[in-house]
Amino acid sequence: MSTDADVPTAAPQPAPDLPDPPVKGHGRRVGLSLAALGVVFGDIGTSPLYALKTVFSVQHNAVESTREDVFGVISMVFWTLTIIVSYGYAFLMMRADNEGEGGILSLVALLRRKTAGHARLVAASVVMGIIGAALFYGDSVITPAISVMSAIEGLAVVSPSFGSLVLPVSLVILTGVFAVQRFGTSAVGRFFGPIMSVWFVSLAALGLPHLLENPEILGAISPHHAIAFAVARPGVAFIAMGAVVLTVTGVEALYADMGHFGRTPIRLAWFGLVFPSLTIVYLGMGAMILRHPSTIDNPFFHLAPAWAQAPLVVLATMATIIASQAVISGAFSVSRQATRANLLPRLNVVHTSTEEGGQVYIGSINWILFVGVMLIVGVFQSSEALASAYGLAVTGTLLLEITVFLLLARFVWRTHWAKILLAVLLIVGFELAFFLANVAKILHGGWLPLLIAAAVVTIMLTWRQGYAAVQERRRQIEGRLADFITMVRASDIPRVAGLAVFPHPNAETTPLALRQNLEFNHVLHEHNAIVSIVNENVPHVRHVDRASVDDLGYADDGFIHIRYRVGFNDSQFVPKALEWAKGKGPEIDLDPDQARYFLSSLRLTLGDVPSLPRWRRRLFLWLSANAATRTGVFHLPPERTIVMGGHLEL
């Protein structure tokens, strides 16, 4: 088995902090808040479709429609939204931005950069980042399925005869969602915010009449009802917590999408519209269940009068499509970040917007998610059954993110231990209880996100370790670049006109393609540029700071080294590296349109070297063979790109 030219980028290096671009003007903030409604809050905004339905479902039938149980559940819901979302994420987590970006991999990169001297802390944060990213993939598979199915299940409320349509209609809609991903979200993104605005206003409008009809439910805001419920019926309350946590599905998007909108617009949208609307609709459902216990089969759709139920199904379907779109796009972003961190092989990343660098499409990830979604819809066949699988992915991600955040607060910000302890007791304690409640559901579907996460963790660790083993062996084959240049200077080697560009991860070893070109053609180009793309632990590097040039000790030998620094949200554009390197070194014509590009290929085959267990070596070779070609990843012109290299047994 072989692999295409496999020259990975250099390891991440520390980068200076760059100032965040200011968000100017009240109108600008409002516009960003409106846009955030469609991207950030799609998932958590559609949770009312299935959260309380799951609490009172057959699997949780010990939760009754009595005053004590309903008040206890609604109190749990309100304080879950308040403690985890309002305090944990909107107030605390969003303080930890990595050059304005959020998300668990971005947070881990920030912690690694700030604590480079603490090897154990760095290693622990990397492991947590890998597990967190793996759980996110589980979330990316389950969210589209449970969201769309829960909306279509409203058809059964409109008319029981429509129940047989839920599964096929859900499959058709989900197929359409994944089919249009390659066109990008830029064309339809402007409509997401207004639609979700209508959705959140509708949530409040649906809950308010029932709330006014039975205002007694307002008492559930007091936390003593949740405490009394837990004390009086601890087993029932513990099981209920496994479903109550579904009210905060998608909360990690508040942090992950911070780079797109900024913390102020996201907070404005949350406290100004989303939080009030969710509070009203959950209180309204509680009030309705108290007066009409039979509505527990699907409390959300029973909120609407009969004439409005069909239009509500349509609006709910649109909202869940938006929620699905957001989490799928998030999977693309996480995959690109994982690739830059050497946790996944190269992927073909297509930028779908000329304005937003974060809007990308990765075909392989899209269709893997599609197959996964189709399979679990076919296996579980209802949102109620899927809800048991959903909780572990959510609670696991919450625990990992808050843990990394608290490590950052303690070891980087030097936050007083008393404040750390308060956060541990209030937030971590809350999230740990939710996590344990969902562990109890492993046999009832909770195994699904664990299975997905285990597969992703295995792939990431295998790639990371295999990559390290290959690079160590590769350095021995390549030899020192300084020795090669000394040999060239001492020899009378013919030169041909032109510029040869060799993408290569460092300036210490000799590109294989450079050696092979000399051995095969017995000539060198007049000018030779070795380009190393250095992935920084930051989202973006300013264009003017990206390229630096080193003459490698001699200004007249025709060799230069270009370091091209990129963040994990920047494009690895080698021809652009030549553009930005002009004027920063020896007078060489760095015209990217005239250059010839030489990629170093290392053919890998399965050998008897015990660097990894045999099955993991086979997995690594398969991943290598299916990695994207660097011609596309580095944006090289195929007609002027040549592949040369060697062979290595793994």
Does residue 341 form part of some domain?
A: no
**pLDDT of amino acid 239:** 85
Is residue 276's pLDDT more than 90? yes
Higher pLDDT, 498 or 28: 498
> Is 59's pLDDT higher than 60?
no
CA distances, 90 to each of 81, 82, 255, 269 (Å): 11, 10, 8, 11
Q: Which residue has the higher pLDDT, 194 or 72?
A: 72
In this structure, the answer to whether residues 536 and 433 fall within a common structural domain is: no
Is the pLDDT assigned to residue 8 strictly greater than 60? no
**pLDDT value of position 48:** 93
Comparing 469 with 304, the larger pLDDT belongs to: 304
Lowest-confidence pick of 175-189, 327-341, 457-471, 547-561: 175-189
Amino acid in the structure at residue 330: G
Domain contains 561: yes
Residue 429 sits in the same domain as residue 557: no
Same domain assignment for residues 534 and 425: no
Q: Same domain for 564 and 508?
A: yes
Share of the chain above pLDDT 90, in %: 23
Tell me which of 17-26, 260-269, 365-374, 492-501 is least confident: 17-26
Check whether residue 393 and residue 479 sit in a common domain. Answer: no
Domain-located, residue 363: yes
Predicted confidence at residue 10, as pLDDT, reads 38
Q: Stretch 573-589: mean pLDDT, rounded?
A: 85
Tell me the average pLDDT across 307-326.
86
Instruction: Choose the final residue of a domain: 425, 445, 465.
Output: 445
Give the model's confidence band at 624: pLDDT under 50 very low, under 70 low, under 90 confident, else very high.
Answer: confident
Same domain, 529 and 440: no
pLDDT for the residue 11: 35
- Cα(first)–Cα(last) distance of the chain, in Å? 11
Question: Of the given ranges (58-67, 69-78, 151-160, 273-282), which has the lowest mean pLDDT?
Answer: 58-67
Q: Among 191-205, 368-382, 383-397, 414-428, which stretch is predicted with the lowest mean pLDDT?
A: 383-397
Q: What does pTM read for this prediction?
A: 0.77
Is residue 384 located within the same domain as residue 490?
Answer: no
Number of folded domains in the chain? 2
Domain containing residue 139: 34-330+349-445
Whether 102 has a pLDDT exceeding 80, the answer reads no
Q: How far is CA 457 from CA 126, 127, 271, 440, 535, in A?
A: 12, 9, 36, 23, 22
Asked if residue 464 belongs to a domain, the reply is no
**Structure-token pair, residue 500:** 């040869």
pLDDT category at 75 given cuts 50, 70, 90 is very high
- pLDDT at site 15: 33
Confidence (pLDDT) at 529: 92
Interval 319-335 mean pLDDT: 82
For residues 176 and 199, give the distance between their C-alpha atoms in angstroms, rounded to a whole number.
Answer: 21
Together in a domain, 209 and 305: yes
Sequence-distant contacts of 120-129: CB under 8 A, at least 24 apart: 121/407, 121/411, 124/407, 125/404, 125/407, 128/104, 128/400, 128/403, 128/404, 129/104, 129/105, 129/341, 129/404
Mean pLDDT, the chain, as a whole number? 83
pLDDT of residue 650: 55
CATH code of the domain covering residue 500 = 3.40.50
647: β partners: 603
Co-location of 438 and 485 in the same domain? no
**What pLDDT does residue 439 have?**
84
- Does residue 210 surpass a pLDDT of 90? yes
* Confidence check: pLDDT of 358 > 80: no
Mean pLDDT of 252-266: 78
342-350 average pLDDT score: 83
Please report whether residue 21 resides in a domain. no
Residue 325 reports pLDDT greater than 70: yes
**Residues 435 and 514 occupy one common structural domain:** no
Candidate from 9-23, 81-95, 407-421 with smallest mean pLDDT: 9-23
Q: Is residue 228 part of a domain?
A: yes
Assess if residue 521 is contained within a domain: yes
Same domain, 541 and 613: yes
One-character DSSP codes across 170-209: HHHHHHHHHHTGGG-SHHHHHHHHHHHHHHHHHHHHHHHH
Residue-wise pLDDT for 227-248, tens only, equals: 999 999 888 888 888 889 889 9
Q: Same domain, yes or no, for 186 and 279?
A: yes
Q: Please tell me which residue, 428 or 610, carries the higher pLDDT value.
A: 428
Cross-strand pairs, 566? 535
Q: Which of 445, 463, 493 is the last residue of a domain?
A: 445
Q: What is the CATH number of the domain that holds 418?
A: 1.20.1740.10
Find the mean pLDDT for residues 297-305: 91
Q: How far is CA 268 from CA 36, 86, 251, 539, in A?
A: 10, 11, 15, 24
Q: What is the mean pLDDT of residues 374-387?
A: 84
Q: Please report, rounded to a whole number, the percentage of residues in the chain having pLDDT higher than 70.
A: 89
224 in a structural domain: yes
Tell me the pLDDT tens digit for each residue of 388-403.
Answer: 777 788 888 888 888 9
